[in-house]
Amino acid sequence: MTETAAAPVVRIQGVDKVFTSGTATTTALKGIDLEIRRGEFISLIGPSGCGKSTLLRVIGDLVAPTAGTVEVNGKPAVRARLDRDYGMVFQAPVLFDWRSVEDNVKLPLELMGYDSARRSARAKEMLDLVELSDFVKHHPYQLSGGMQQRVAIARALAFEPSILLMDEPFGALDEMTRERMNQEVLRIWEQTGITVVFVTHSIPEAVFLSSRVVVMSARPGRITDVIEIELPRPRGVETREERRYFELVTAVREALRRGDADGADGGAAGATSGTGASDGTDGGPSQAALDRARAEGGIG
């Protein structure tokens, strides 16, 4: 595997994941193929139970696939995890109350054998990056939810992983904080050039952040569409007011609805639309834009 710029960071081929508990089996993922290029911002979106979080965990080698292969940086996912290629951010910040903000950020560095001077330097750098330099000595419980999540991001980036895996990181935050955090994540992504895989169930969030949105559907979990988000960068508050933004939001929503309908055809009775997006930003639907987005989508 050559490490050229064109080589994908993540290459997923024919991945299935079947969970077995007792006699019951659940097909969480079915026939997943996906390539993620270096420096991309990829969102995985879909209704609950579509396997988007499972797919993220398969990429990060937290869950082993039942079939298929996952290559990361040209090596198996297990190797990539042992090489510490992944930074993880979960929906809950998972900060340790017994450690200060600074010591939480230092935790992976301690594990990875950084010396004390480098630990301090990296922690300071990362807390500057997420704009929490004034809260270094605080304990997690003294911070708001948004601030805690920023500490989690600082911790995930501290050891310079090549991929940042984020599992609904802002799902527990209010809408205003979430939009601010979106802006923060974009800034950090642009500053570091890291590849991001981002699981969300918010359509506006996915469109605003991503270079590509991977649309998934449940029963069984599969990729039904990949939508290229060609909105210009840097993106800011104005982006959310652009016509093209609304068109893409609509395109993603339509893709989700289509995927859901396919799932219902496939025999899942009473499949309800469970995208859970409370965006309230209904742009004028444009069939032309929709078709264009779909044409660019690739896998469909």
CB of 257 to other proteins, least distance (A): 31
Nearest to other proteins of 98, 267 (CB atom): 98
CB of 174 to other proteins, least distance (A): 12
Nearest to other proteins of 14, 236 (CB atom): 236
Nearest to other proteins of 141, 265 (CB atom): 141
Question: Own/partner pairs for 58-63, CB < 8 Å, 24+ apart?
Answer: 58/12, 58/15, 58/17, 58/29, 58/32, 59/10, 59/12, 59/163, 59/165, 59/197, 60/86, 60/88, 60/165, 61/86, 63/17
C-alpha angle with apex 17: 212 to 90, nearest 5 degrees?
Answer: 55
CB of 172 to other proteins, least distance (A): 12
Q: Cα separation of 150 and 140, whole Å?
A: 11
Q: What is the SS3 assignment for 235?
A: coil
Q: Cα separation of 229 and 41, whole Å?
A: 10
CB of 187 to other proteins, least distance (A): 5
Query: Which residues of this chain interact with other proteins, rule CB under 8 A?
Result: 57, 60, 62, 81-84, 86-88, 90, 92, 94, 96-98, 107-108, 110-112, 131, 134-135, 139, 141-144, 146-147, 165, 180, 183-184, 187, 234, 236
| Cβ 63 vs Cβ 54: under 8 Å | yes
Phi/psi for 280 (5° steps) reads: 65, 25
CB of 237 to other proteins, least distance (A): 9
Q: What amino acid occupies position 94?
A: V
Nearest to other proteins of 81, 257 (CB atom): 81
